Amino acid sequence: MPHVDPIKLQRRLFAELSRMYANEVPMYDRALLVNAVCNRATCDLLAEMFPGFAIDEVQLSRTGSERHGAIRIGTPEEYRWVSRFFACFGMEPHNFYDMTAVGAKSQPVISTAFRSSRNPEHRIFTSLLRTDYFDEETGARIEARLARRQVFPDEVRENIERREAEGGLSTEDADRLIELATTRIFKWTGEATDQALYDHLCEAGFKIAADVACFGTHHLNHLTPNTFCMDLYTTAMRWCLREIDETEFLTHAVAALEQVRTTADQDVLCLLFRHLDSEEIDGFDLIDPGSDFVMERIGQLRDTLAAPQFALHELPHHGFKDHTEGPATGVPLLLRQDAYKALAERTIFTDADGTHTESVHTARFGEIEQRFYACTPKGRALYDRCLGNATSAREAAANRAAATADYAECFADFPRTLSGLLEQRLVWCRYEATAAGRNAAGMIGDADLDTLLACGFVRRVGQRYEDFLPVSAAGIFASNLSQYGTRSTAAEKPEYTQAMLEQILGRDIIDPQALCAAAQSESLQVTYAELGLNVDASA
């Protein structure tokens, strides 16, 4: 029997998860709409700037349908099953995040992210609760509670085992796996057990542990779409939630699109629209449509957002997070993230004696992300240094406007363009032979890379960052729990290592830095070969 393509399956899984989450959380569905109209406005501006560039509704929704989600797992055994489950969808563990070691915002979990190694569209940040982070009694209570649940039905386990034995999934098994993922494994049930343990953990400041231990599924705690313009989306959401008034929305929205108008170049288009060919993008002229276009387009966006379906303030909510995580506006590095805060969801506790109590659980929120260039280790070290300064500056600032300005100031060391970043070897790229280069193949003679670039025979395309950021993740955890962070209550806080998580997974965790480095050097070899040059010269 033929096997289904795991990547196609991955797209289906995430489309179904998104449908599931939209049914569970009306605010998510509405936020997707806000994102869609903001993305449309950004694309309209880009289409004015780059005559020839256009993106239709189908492509817009496809490009905008990338997602990352997050789940929190209770036991090592469950964790291994989750890993085996994602392997069915071509998703493997990338990077290790020790969330117990991010300073004051630490949480009792260690994590990896499951994704494809090449051109990933989707990812799941997957955390494992560490019971040895707690005092013995609490750890034992959590373990005893977790030992009673089985999140993966037998049918799913058999299905996964069959795939491992046969090297792929039949259509029937694939359909069933997706069905059970969205109706069982990752579904929010609103049903919890052991209110005494729940209350004990929450009172001790361990809401994450309560979110894991007292529920019967690996419920998705968020599902994050991507935006083409973070600042436009966040200001639109704040207005829809009535945290700011129309005037303030207009000011911020115009500033957000002005930023695009004055900085977007062909490299930015490549980063945002990976379905387009870089040769085609290189062929676009860049013209300035002027501030009037931006003013007018934001006016239209305001009219759109005034419609009843965008009255998000009428839905129950806890507001929007107070700042965007990651680099400041205009610094095209890594990842920027923001979120509306966790909603209170109706939860029924059933206790050992069968009594039911109605309560609420506040853990699931609505994140948004925008991805930029992947940093080299040198770029990352600089980022971490700037981020440390920026965080302190923000905390010391007198008000919100000053906080944003002071935060941005700390990233001043970073160039704003791909070529500037590459010049200092702060980010990774891929090399490509241009059409002109291929035409000249065999006639180029001895030329170094700089010359080939200057002659237009070679082009560089920035590699996109595909992973997560521990400090940003900690900020996301913290704001959504309305708790700053936690401290281990074990007699001595254990040290957690990547090797420990690898042992739990029964396999190695992939190092994204090594993937980026290999992609860059392999692309250079291919490029030299295409130009008919000696491959050794690329070393």
Report the partner that residue 127 touches, choosing among Ni ion, ligand OOG, none (CB closer than 5 to 8 A by kind): ligand OOG
Distances 64 to 121, 177, 327, 532 between C-alpha atoms, Å: 10, 25, 21, 39
For Cα atoms 454, 457, 463, give the angle at the middle one, nearest 5 degrees.
85
Report the partner that residue 238 touches, choosing among Ni ion, ligand OOG, none (CB closer than 5 to 8 A by kind): none
Report the partner that residue 472 touches, choosing among ligand OOG, Ni ion, none (CB closer than 5 to 8 A by kind): ligand OOG
How many residues in the shown chain lie near Ni ion by CB under 5 A?
Answer: 2
Output the six-digit token pair for 375. 């940093």
Contact yes or no for 9/174 (Cβ under 8 A): yes
Crossing angle (nearest 10°) for helices 26-49 and 246-263:
40
Report the partner that residue 477 touches, choosing among ligand OOG, Ni ion, none (CB closer than 5 to 8 A by kind): ligand OOG
Q: How far is the CB of 42 from Ni ion (least distance, A)?
A: 21
Q: How far is the CB of 147 from ligand OOG (least distance, A)?
A: 22
Q: How far is the CB of 365 from Ni ion (least distance, A)?
A: 9
How far apart are alpha carbons 107 and 112 in whole angstroms?
A: 14
Give residues with Cβ within 8 angstroms of 224, minimum separation 6. 67, 68, 69, 337, 367, 368, 369
Report the partner that residue 468 touches, choosing among ligand OOG, Ni ion, none (CB closer than 5 to 8 A by kind): ligand OOG
How far apart are alpha carbons 258 and 263 in whole angstroms?
A: 8
Crossing angle (nearest 10°) for helices 154-166 and 76-87:
50
Q: How far is the CB of 334 from Ni ion (least distance, A)?
A: 14
Q: How far is the CB of 4 from ligand OOG (least distance, A)?
A: 28
Nearer to Ni ion, 170 or 483 (CB): 483
Nearer to ligand OOG, 253 or 476 (CB): 476
Contact yes or no for 190/347 (Cβ under 8 A): yes
Largest Cα–Cα distance of the chain, in whole Å?
84
The sign of the torsion formed by the CA atoms of 421, 423, 427, 433 equals positive
Nearer to ligand OOG, 227 or 538 (CB): 227
Q: Is 367 in the site for Ni ion (CB under 5 A)?
A: yes
**Residue 292, helix vs strand vs coil:** helix
Binding part of the chain for Ni ion, among 66-74, 166-174, 271-279, 427-435 by CB under 5 A, reads 66-74
Cβ count within 10 A of residue 175:
14
**Residue 363, helix vs strand vs coil:** strand
Binding part of the chain for Ni ion, among 48-56, 64-72, 135-143, 263-271 by CB under 5 A, reads 64-72
Nearer to ligand OOG, 38 or 102 (CB): 102
Binding part of the chain for Ni ion, among 137-145, 360-368, 417-425, 459-467 by CB under 5 A, reads 360-368
How far apart are alpha carbons 343 and 340 in whole angstroms?
A: 9
Q: From the centroid of its chain, how far is CA 110?
A: 17
Q: How far is the CB of 27 from ligand OOG (least distance, A)?
A: 16
Nearer to ligand OOG, 437 or 470 (CB): 470
Report the partner that residue 212 touches, choosing among Ni ion, ligand OOG, none (CB closer than 5 to 8 A by kind): none
Residue nearest ligand OOG, CB atom distance = 473
Report the partner that residue 20 touches, choosing among Ni ion, ligand OOG, none (CB closer than 5 to 8 A by kind): none
Q: How far is the CB of 369 from Ni ion (least distance, A)?
A: 7
How far apart are alpha carbons 168 and 89 in whole angstroms?
A: 10
Q: Which residues would be at the binding site for ligand OOG (CB under 6 A)?
A: 70, 72, 125, 127, 221, 337, 367, 468, 472-473, 476-477
How far apart are alpha carbons 213 and 141 in whole angstroms?
A: 9
Enumerate residues 8-27 that contact Ni ion by CB under 5 A: none
Interface ranges with Ni ion (CB under 5 A) = 70, 367
